Amino acid sequence: MNAWKTYNVKELVEIGIIERPMDGNHGEIHPKGSDFTEAGIPFIMATDIMNGKIDLHNCKFISVEQSRKLRKGFSLSKDVLLTHKASIGRTAIVPELDTDYIMLTPQVTYYRVLDKSVLNHKYLKYYFDSSLFQQTLSSYANSGSTRAYIGITEQLNLPIILPPIKVQDRIASILSSLDDKIELNLQMNKTLESIAQAIIKEWFVDFRFPGFDGELEDGIPKGWRKGKLAEIVEIKNGYAFKGTDFMEEGIPVIKIKNVKPNKILLKELSYVSHEMSIKTQRFRINHEDILITMSGNRIDGGKDTWVGKVAIFMRDGEFLLNQRVSILRLDKSRKFFKYYLAILLSSDTYQDYFIKNATSSGGQANISPDLVNNTDILIPPTAILGLYHKVIEPIFNKISANDNEIDTLSSLRDTLLPKLMTGKIRVA
């Protein structure tokens, strides 16, 4: 295979390059809610695959005994996963596992490389990520159906471009190096966020802050007081943009999905026209605004999906705010509160509070501006907050710098990907 060739999946199966793709168990044999356990074999759904990774910690689990009753869906390390129902086109490579295998739902297909001299599994994953393949996948999935779905039989017709193995290896190496740096920055930010949470607990929960002699009045240090969040911030709701307002490019809009715990993601942004942005200027997000999601899940799924997620908006440029995301805006006299509030409201204590006090509608959890305004909070003296600000600001600045580098690297990877996959950029 010295030339670039195009095969469909069925042909790759027939000539022994890959195993026949397989998804999880359908029908009565599919595990029920009562089968899930606290630990055991990871049971991977489409929602457990995000940003090229598998969430092996917050997924469901089934026992080894239960897994052995199933007929298929046994996925191994280095398998390439592809979601094919509802949220189609998400990909991941199964990492080295603590278990012998993971189990898949009928929403997810595994692709297993048999002949590594012909096909690099990392290349296959990146090929699945390419716009070329994603567009093809979408066209197959939407044909003759009201819901995005492409079954195993139909997947056999999907085309796959295979350059020579040395070219595949080089493409995989280039893209992997970018992803590895992105992952390093993500892990660094997790560490920095943990440090920030530890500091705020040390100072504002355990009251072990510099210069304090340990004397309390009514359970809090002298000079501190108990108050409500409304005393510190003004809550501003987002705008109810219509589906017809959104465009392929223009002024970006921050939605619920873009707000994660302690971070803002600029992937999968929606956009509106400049004319619409002028009409909705009062919904513009300011640099260092604190954002909170007013809708989401309760405790199902990972923290990334919960109601009440909080993050500081550290991005520059013009951004607008969508409905069900709100701004907790500080005036200039309260500038030392921003890091304090952002970290405090992201703590388990406050996240539990928002979740427990949310109302449900259509399976979705919602919190109201009144609930947020009436949230109890300790108000330390300005001097203490100023000292805390000096300690914590370098941590946030580093997180922000890492986020900016992640954005740059992600953009570079996304630019290179289609060009590498089509041979527009040639690699030796």
What is the model's pLDDT at position 146? 44
Angle at 40 between CA 304 and CA 110, to 5 degrees: 70
Dig out the tokens for 174 from the structure: 């280039």
pLDDT confidence of residue 270: 95
Separation CA 292–CA 280 (nearest Å): 19
Query: Which sequence spans correspond to the domains of the chain?
Result: 5-162, 225-379
Q: Is 189 helix (H, G, I), strand (E, B) or coil?
A: helix
Domains 5-162 and 225-379 alike in fold: yes
How many residues are present in the chain?
A: 428
Residue 114's nearest CA partner among 185, 21, 181, 239 is 21
Beta strands in 209-358 (DSSP E): 216-217, 220-221, 225-228, 234-237, 246-247, 251-254, 259-260, 263-264, 270-272, 290-293, 295-296, 310-312, 320-321, 325-329
β-bridge mates for residue 322, sequence order: 239
CATH number listed for the domain at residues 225-379 = 3.90.220.20
213 DSSP assignment = -
All residue ranges of the chain with pLDDT < 50 are 144-146
The answer to whether domain 5-162 has CATH 3.40.640.10 is: no
> What is the tens place of the pLDDT at every residue in 282-329?
999 999 999 999 999 886 666 778 899 999 998 889 999 999 999 999
